[in-house]
Chain A
Amino acid sequence: MTGQEMSANPVGGQGWQFPFSISIEPRLTVPKWLPALISVGSLGVAFVIGGIVLAVAGGNPLAIYAHLIRAAFGDIGVFNDTLVKASPLMLVGLACALAFRMKLWNIGAEGQFFLGAWGASAVVLAPILPRDTPAILMIPTMMLAGVACGALWGLIPGFLKAKFNVNEIITTLMMNYIAVSWVLFWVFGEWSESGFQMSPMFPRNAWLPRLTDYAAQIPQFAGLTLHAGILFGLIVSVVVWFITSRSRWGYEIRLIGDNKEAARYAGVDIARNTMLLMMVSGGIAGLAGMAEIAGVVHRLQGAISNNYGFTGIIIAWLAKLNPFAVILVSVLFGGLIQAGREIQPSGVPRMLQGIILFCVIAGDVLLRYRIQITRR
């Protein structure tokens, strides 16, 4: 059909006309409540689509969802596990959300997470501090080392982007593989526990405090493995919020993210901010790695991340880069990871994650356009 033949009225047939017309118009203003509504709506649509897939696969979607909810939030025990899973997700989600503000596509949170875990482990295993160092000194040193290593891993692509305009999506993605191999190199070699592919268990003074550690004082905490890492997530979310919406640096980040040319015109040093932001983003992801090592795994091994680094990207998008929403979404995804195992070790929960991301990205259209249905 050439342009000339095309009807000005695409649904108009001979005599009969579709009684409504649908038009898509660019949205001029975005009401404050709309992003939240669209996020929630996208989630709903994702679960409907997921339900269809489950039904096709031979399950009863409603029963499965009910089971998922019970398995993630049903009692204090499983909710504890959900929060343990959510803790690293919060930090990684915040790391991504911060970088994405400047339209800096840090896909490397996974690698920065691994490097953070490695750095924290090095404090115990190298050893940088003697084994019997009191926790009050050991933990902060591990945090520092984790943040520093994550930051360094972020700085490398940041530097390449700032100085040579190398695409950070490619470099951060590739550096994930290097990071995992780097950790495996140490786990299989220098730090291997008598040939096993894991390091020796850390001493108790290198563990983050857990609720269950206080079971003697508060009996209800017995068996609850929730560790201090969740506090890191909560504190960092406030810090990220303050940086983006209250600080001069955050203003420069948003300015660069919105219009690079205008930022340059306003005298903002884009190269410096790129490196700095990649460092901070990498540092937050590194802290997540440290918290996971010191709070849950208590040793360095190959399998320390449940794809946390990549899930963080989904979380940042679903939260529309809002640091407080990142917390909520992380708990949801923590629950999905936790409960998903109840159905299948890997297939269905990952599929649901994928569908959610798809719906969230598709839902973004509604933020930018308005769909109008009018009677002819």
Chain B
Amino acid sequence: MSASAPLPDSASSIPYAVEMRGIVKRFPGVLANDHVDFDLRPGEVHALLGENGAGKSTLMNILSGLYRPDAGLIRVNGRPVHFNSPRDAIAAGLGMVHQHFMLVPTQTVTENIILGLSEPRFFLPLDQLDQRVLALQEQYGLRVDPKARIWQLSVGEQQRVEILKMLYRGANVLIMDEPTAVLTPQEVEELFHTLRAMVARGHSVIFISHKLDEVLKISNRITVLRQGRVAASGIPAHEATKAQLAQLMVGREVVFTVRKKPVQPGEVVLSVEDVCAENDRGLPALRHFSIQVRAGEIVGIAGVAGNGQSELAQVITGLRRCSCGRVVIAGEDIANRPPRAAIERHVAHIPEDRHGVGSSPGLSLAENLIMKSHRRPPISNGWVLNLPMIRRQAAQLKDEYNIIAPSVEVQARLLSGGNLQKAILAREISAGPRLIIAVQPTRGLDVGAIETVQNLLLKEREHGAAILLISEELEELLTLSDRIVGMYEGRHMGELNAEEATLAAIGLMMAGTPQGKPATR
């Protein structure tokens, strides 16, 4: 550990596992952390709550050695530490699981876990290492095939690999950055189970989130950040309420309702008929799946991640080939046509992976806002771009959709998750879509942004757009959808009207038991 001696003032009682005092971090134009104090007791789950951009990730990036604070002091088990790299932080027993996983897609689980370690030095006894990984999995109840390659794993499984990676390195304190943002309800339960198992073994967990229910459920204490400052420090979870936390986070009262107006559905816009498709691993992902969406209605798809929802969205938008069936949009079959066919038929797509698919990180915000519209007037005449128009339109969308960015010239990779999602929505919705394919549109967003996104979708519904909503947030499906279709192993598990749908019935469909009306073709 650190060479310095412990300071006398922390020697009085049991030292904190982690203690951060007066942390300041400035980025160009932003004060991300303004004298933030944070402490973590051994064997507790301490939640760090705040909106997007409140400074949670910055604070934890400092604790994990990725950034250096401009001012402030960090102690681990009572000893002051200076981290120059994540390696130092890991050596001090702090392991961070990032929101965006840091894994090599073409390597196996075990290879990723041992990557960067000094042991083994030369030969890779992979079978032996696989056994070590399996043993670790047993201890904490984290199941994932050690021989599987990362690209073949679901997001939930990849997260388990990240946690295993930290445990394998002997991390005592686990920092989880928005861990549930990418998980299904079942996976969240499993994660919580794991976290409890870890705490029981003496580990401590910092749990970064903006999901109030989860924070109240899993944590012992809660610290709330707002605009880089501490709004509430270490309040016990059993004394806190949802409304109180929401108010601390946003600085105003939040209403937890979204108003859905009655709309009479129109003609059928999207008709998916008997579609089959394979996933990236070459296994069947869609098995004769059919669904219809009419103008002015939202059809929700409920399913556990990896049951064909992503593939369905990709087949409709032309990003994935289907091996049978038809995708009819406004009366025309566009199955297996290039993605442009769907774009030209005014199909908007809010993709699941907003960093990898929905945006281009190295291009500017303005350039990201013209993806798809760059071929048409007024953005271009087909050959030459109209730069003043691009800038003007970007500035307008930035205002209208409240995208927080220093300017429209800023690179998209510098936008926070919520602002990037607002930019994608601005681009897709401003094109005046007839059909919207929205995949996990509010995943990882804070309360305020979720409200914005949901209201935008409802407004488009009132304007007569047909919307296919794929979401793992069951509350969201229930609030927004007119009809809910269950999906299990690529099959249609029946359809429920929003009024008659219950969490129990949806859960049964997601587990593979058909409910309600069967699919119509």
Q: Which A residues contact B (CB, under 8 angstroms)?
A: 1-4, 6-10, 12-14, 21-26, 28-29, 246-249, 251-252, 254-255, 258-259, 261-267, 269, 372, 374, 376
Residue pair B384, A12 in contact (C-beta under 8 Å) = no
Shortest 8 CB-CB distances between A and B: which pairs? A267-B340, A266-B371, A258-B362, A12-B3, A6-B91, A259-B360, A267-B343, A262-B360
Q: Does B104 contact A (CB under 8 A)?
A: no
Q: Which of B79-87, B215-223, B303-311, B472-480 contacts the other chain?
A: B79-87
Q: Which B residues contact A (CB, under 8 angstroms)?
A: 1-4, 27-28, 66-68, 76, 81-85, 87-92, 117-119, 169-170, 317, 319, 338-340, 342-344, 349, 351, 353, 356-363, 367, 370-372, 374-375, 380, 382-385, 387, 410-411, 414
Docked pose: A265 CA to B313 CA in angstroms: 12
Which one of A2, A8, A21, A259 lies within 8 Å of B118 (CB-CB)?
A2
Chain A residue nearest to B367 in the complex (CB): A251
Residue pair A9, B349 in contact (C-beta under 8 Å) = no
Residue pair A25, B385 in contact (C-beta under 8 Å) = no
A1 → B minimal CB distance (Å): 7
B7 → A minimal CB distance (Å): 15
Which one of A10, A29, A248 lies within 8 Å of B374 (CB-CB)?
A248
A264 → B minimal CB distance (Å): 6
Residue pair B387, A261 in contact (C-beta under 8 Å) = no
- Cβ–Cβ < 8 Å partners of A254 in chain B: 363, 367
Given contacts A8-B81, A28-B27, A29-B28, contact A261 B367 (CB under 8 A): no
Chain A residue nearest to B314 in the complex (CB): A265
Residue pair B3, A265 in contact (C-beta under 8 Å) = no
Given contacts A8-B91, A23-B84, A258-B363, contact A267 B380 (CB under 8 A): no
Contact sample, A vs B, 16 pairs, CB 8 Å cutoff: A8-B2, A8-B92, A9-B84, A21-B84, A25-B66, A248-B383, A248-B385, A249-B383, A251-B385, A254-B363, A258-B360, A265-B351, A266-B371, A267-B338, A267-B343, A269-B340
Docked pose: A261 CA to B361 CA in angstroms: 11
Tell me whether chain B's interface is mostly helix, strand or loop, or mixed: loop
Chain B residue nearest to A30 in the complex (CB): B411
Residue pair B68, A372 in contact (C-beta under 8 Å) = yes
Chain B residue nearest to A272 in the complex (CB): B338
Given contacts A9-B82, A258-B361, A259-B356, contact A265 B339 (CB under 8 A): yes
Residue pair A259, B339 in contact (C-beta under 8 Å) = no
- Cβ–Cβ < 8 Å partners of B76 in chain A: 8
Residue pair A8, B360 in contact (C-beta under 8 Å) = no
Given contacts A8-B92, A29-B414, A269-B338, contact A2 B68 (CB under 8 A): no
- Cβ–Cβ < 8 Å partners of A248 in chain B: 374-375, 380, 382-385
User: Knowing that A3-B91, A251-B374, A261-B356 are A-B contacts, what are 15 other residue pairs whose CB atoms are under 8 Å apart, sorted by A's residue number?
Assistant: A2-B119, A3-B169, A6-B91, A8-B1, A8-B81, A12-B2, A12-B3, A25-B66, A29-B410, A248-B375, A251-B370, A258-B361, A259-B362, A262-B357, A262-B360
Docked pose: A21 CA to B82 CA in angstroms: 9
Residue pair B340, A265 in contact (C-beta under 8 Å) = no
Chain B residue nearest to A29 in the complex (CB): B28
Residue pair A374, B68 in contact (C-beta under 8 Å) = yes
Residue pair B385, A6 in contact (C-beta under 8 Å) = no
Residue pair B88, A9 in contact (C-beta under 8 Å) = yes
Given contacts A8-B92, A259-B362, contact A28 B356 (CB under 8 A): no
Which one of B28, B84, B357 lies within 8 Å of A10 (CB-CB)?
B84
A47 → B minimal CB distance (Å): 31
Which one of B117, B371, B385 lies within 8 Å of A3 (CB-CB)?
B117
Docked pose: A8 CA to B79 CA in angstroms: 11
Residue pair B119, A10 in contact (C-beta under 8 Å) = no
Docked pose: A8 CA to B65 CA in angstroms: 10
Which one of B2, B66, B363, B387 lies within 8 Å of A255 (CB-CB)?
B363
Docked pose: A28 CA to B76 CA in angstroms: 28
- Cβ–Cβ < 8 Å partners of A267 in chain B: 338-340, 342-344, 372
Given contacts A6-B87, A21-B82, contact A261 B357 (CB under 8 A): yes
Residue pair B68, A246 in contact (C-beta under 8 Å) = no
Residue pair B1, A262 in contact (C-beta under 8 Å) = no
Which one of A24, A26, A264, A372 lies within 8 Å of B319 (CB-CB)?
A264
Which one of B68, B91, B360 lies within 8 Å of A4 (CB-CB)?
B91
